[in-house]
A = this chain, B = another copy of it.
């Protein structure tokens, strides 16, 4: 089983690395990091370099495709080679998935039209504009399309995906393997639970964040 994770300039690395860390240990699975060109890309703000190991054309039929998000997602919204690749791999994929604003790219490629999907909490309106049915849940499954909410939600999605692919016991072993027993010191990870003034402050900044300038 081949799992392709898209890397691109301006990615939010946790969107990719969270699922990677779970799925790399899935029995029989091989994870490949694919992108426009083999070599380094830089994360949001240029701070972390990650290496693309395969060009898109060299990954024509992964069983699972995962599109992360991040400020660089903006440039992918009209990146026709990426859209064409996503439509092509989607034709044979077992699962087509995204984390955070990666779902906006799937939607821009025409793959989420009329489907329930989620995204970064500040991007749900944009997801609706792109023809999907935005659903404010941590992980949303509609047919073979699995989308995760923002950034850290990719870990939850990867465990859900592992369970669908290999069964609950395997997924539980993967969860223990990455010791995913979350104990955040605050209950502020969702707009439904964070202090309202913090939600408002991030919402005010979101126009800029989602345009890739943050």
B-binding residues in A (CB < 8 A): 12-14, 17-18, 20-21, 24, 31, 33, 40, 44-45, 47-51, 53, 100, 120-121, 138-139, 149-153, 155-156, 159-160, 163, 168-169, 171-173, 175-186, 188-191, 193-195, 198-199, 201-202
> Chain A's interface: helix, strand, loop or mixed, by majority?
mixed
Q: Name 13 interchain pairs, CB-CB below 8 A, sorted by A.
A: A17-B48, A18-B152, A21-B152, A24-B47, A33-B49, A139-B183, A151-B177, A151-B178, A163-B185, A163-B186, A171-B186, A172-B195, A176-B190
**Are A184 and B185 CB-contacts (below 8 A) given A176-B191, A194-B176, A198-B176?**
no
Find out whether the CB atom of B190 lies under 8 angstroms from the CB atom of A181: yes
The 3 closest A-B CB pairs, nearest first, are: A49-B51, A150-B179, A181-B189
**Are A182 and B184 CB-contacts (below 8 A) given A17-B13, A173-B198?**
yes
Q: Which residues of B contact A195 (CB under 8 A)?
A: 169, 172
Distance in angstroms between the alpha carbons of A202 and B177 in the assembled complex: 8
Find out whether the CB atom of A20 lies under 8 angstroms from the CB atom of B48: yes
